[in-house]
Amino acid sequence: MQDETLLDILKKRGVSRRAFLKFCAAATSLMALPPTMASAVAEALAKAKRPSVIWLSFQECTGCTESLTRSFNPTIGDLIFDVISLDYHETLQAASGTAAEEARQAAIAANNGKFVLVVDGSVSTRDGGVYSTIAGKTNPDLAALDLILVPQLVATGAVASLDDLVAADPSIQVDDFYPRLAEYDVIQGKRYALPVSTNNMQLIWNKDLFKKAGLDPETPPKTWEEMQSMAEKCQDPANGVVGFEFYTQPVGEGITWQFQVWLWAAGGQFLNADNTAAAFNTPHGLQALSYVSDMLKGNGSQPGPWGLFGDQKACMQLDGSWLFGYRKDAPFDWAIALVPAPQGGTTASNVGGEHLFMFDNAKDKPAAWKFIKYMTSPEVQLEWDQKTGFLPVRQSVAADPAYTQWINQTEPRMLPFVDGIQYSPTRPAPPKYFAVSDAFSREIQLALLGDATPEDALKSAETAVNEVLQQP
């Protein structure tokens, strides 16, 4: 059994090669890898033996393990004996104490660089991390986190300032990072992280639906006026087709994340400069919300669950640079363009991605800093972006001929995402951002659904957001 490959095992379970290849394409997309990696993933998995899995449980309630043991397709037995080799899991394994640690070290040594590491639970930071240890060792010295979560962790006091390390090392070249990304990690005058990956949203349009509606399939809208006009021409209510798909439900970050694009394009701001009060209830905010809510009245769009574009029921939508995995083999022709701008305004987007930071209680800060330097260096970033499909966080990488040549040869449709980085603000960085987003989206949704005027929705959202920000 140990000599069987993963493909051999799957064939025994009735999985066809066609289904296997479809799974590889989906897995490539989920890992945010470029679509060109799908064949490499398939080849690697076809030859792979049962992977060694080392599962570390940090500060958690064992809920993930409970879910695993209650799975029925595959069952826990099928998973362990046919799919993976679970070489370390302190809850499920028979060994304990010294024997368990010896098994973990043996698995690491035997599968060096090839084992799968699964981690569940939070990282303990209080009192040196003593409340979550494995064999007496505390949790990691550094981590990468979605940028919007960094301020929340900084507020706990768990993150180390990088100012002295950056100042002592000119090779970091902070000015080479896109300014909005680099500035995000400066909180109350101190730098706590460095960007390692990024993404943004741009306009995607269905060329086939454009052509069917009598529109030029090669010409996307450049202004808000053009976008609404094209959406009205492209919509087909009788067949359930909307001209533009807006995110209207459920409430939460999806509504906030997408509306901020239109707000920023109109010249508005979400919060004030020090993130202590709402700043969107302005003429700019009213312009943005009036534009979106008017379209949603049947003037090019209508409210509904997200996902119409993939079903060829929407001519246009905003989507992110992560789309190339799941859109590559779409049964229709599509393309990407910068987000349209209002009259007299400019294009805008919303940036995402991960940033690297070091825990304040790190036991080996020099090693953690060495890794941060390595991962954020221009040379490694160039290779990282080419192999993962993430967008450049460094301006020098975006301008590197090797990168632009790779883009043009691999997926030219990525270019608007790269061009759009300079027009993509970052979301505000208050520690309570998600509570702010939730409060904002609940009120704004009323205008999107036609249950409140844009003026009333903005006023109510302003009150709700300020209440959150004023809480201790």
* Per-residue model confidence (pLDDT) at position 92: 67
User: Which CATH class name applies to 140-197+354-391+401-409?
Assistant: alpha beta
Domain ranges of the chain: 6-134, 140-197+354-391+401-409, 201-351+426-470
* Per-residue model confidence (pLDDT) at position 87: 75
201-351+426-470 falls under which CATH superfamily?
A: Periplasmic binding protein-like II (3.40.190.10)
All residue ranges of the chain with pLDDT < 50 are 1-2, 130-131, 136
* Per-residue model confidence (pLDDT) at position 166: 97
* Per-residue model confidence (pLDDT) at position 136: 47
* pLDDT tens-digit series, residues 421-462: 999 999 998 989 989 999 999 999 999 999 999 999 999 999
* Per-residue model confidence (pLDDT) at position 130: 46
Q: Do domains 6-134 and 140-197+354-391+401-409 have the same CATH topology?
A: no
User: Which CATH class name applies to 6-134?
Assistant: alpha beta
* pLDDT tens-digit series, residues 223-272: 999 999 999 999 999 999 999 999 999 999 999 999 999 999 999 999 99
Q: HEC states along the chain?
A: CCCCEHHHHHHHCCCCHHHHHHHHHHHHHHCCCCHHHHHHHHHHHHHCECCEEEEEECECCCHHHHHHHCCECCEHHHHHHHHCEEEEECCCCCCCHHHHHHHHHHHHHHCCCCCEEEEECECCCHHHHCCCEECCEECCCEEEEEHHHHHHHHCCCCECCCHHHHHCCHHHCHHHECHHHHHHCEECCEECEEECCEECEEEEEEHHHHHHCCCCCCCCCCEHHHHHHHHHHHCEHHHCEEEEECCCCCCCHHHHHHHHHHHHHCCCCCECCCCCCECCCCHHHHHHHHHHHHHCCCCCCCCCCCCCHHHCCEEEEEEEHHHHHHHCCCCCCEEEECCCECCCCCCCCCCECEEEEEECCCCCHHHHHHHHHHHHCHHHHHHHHHHHCCECCEHHHHHCHHHHHHHHHHCHHHHHHHHHHHHCCCCCCCCCHHHHHHHHHHHHHHHHCCCCCHHHHHHHHHHHHHHHHHCC
* pLDDT tens-digit series, residues 338-350: 999 998 889 999 9
